[in-house]
Amino acid sequence: MGFLQFNSDGSLKLTGEQGYEKEREKRSVVLTREQISIKPARAQIRIRFPERVENPKRVVMLYENLSREISSDAVHKIEQINEQTFIIKIDSGSWSMYSTLDFLIREFKEALSTDYPNRIIIKGTWAGV
C-alpha cells in the first residue's frame, strides 16, 4: 500500500494509470448516469463531448429519433448545457425510467462510436435499481 503524494501546487499526484484514464476521458465522449433523487425517483444522462459540438442539432435529432423507438411512460427531454454538454432528464420517475435511460445510453454509444471510435466512456450507476 502506497502513500499519498502531492504535486508542488498541493493537488493530489495521480498514478500512471490514473493519469492515463484522465487523459483518455478528456479525448472521449463521456455518457454519465446521474441519480438526482431516489424518492421521488429522478435521473438523467449527461453527455459530454471532448470538444465543442459544431452541430448541436445533430445530437438533438439523434435523441428525437431514438425517442420514437421508446414505448415507455417516462417523460424525458434533452437540454444543451454548454458547447460540449447535453443532459437527458427524467424529472418524474416511473417503473420504466431506468430501462428508458439505459436504452438511450446504449443507442447513443452505438451511434456516436462512428465519429468517436473507441472513444466512448460510460460512467455512473443508478441507485435503487
Q: Please write the tens of the pLDDT for every residue from 28-68.
A: 999 999 998 888 888 899 999 999 999 999 999 999 999 88
State the pTM of this model: 0.82
Cell of 110: 452505438
In this structure, the chain runs to a length of: 129
**Cα–Cα distances in Å, from 94 out to 80, 88, 91?**
24, 15, 10
Residue boundaries of the structural domains of the chain: 28-123
Distance CA 14, CA 19 (A): 6
Residues contacting residue 49 through CB under 8 Å, at least 6 positions apart: 29, 84, 85
Q: Please write the tens of the pLDDT for every residue from 82-104.
A: 999 999 998 776 667 888 899 99
Is the CATH number of domain 28-123 3.40.50?
Answer: no
Percentage of the chain lying above the pLDDT 70 cut = 94
pLDDT band for 75, please (50, 70, 90 cuts): confident
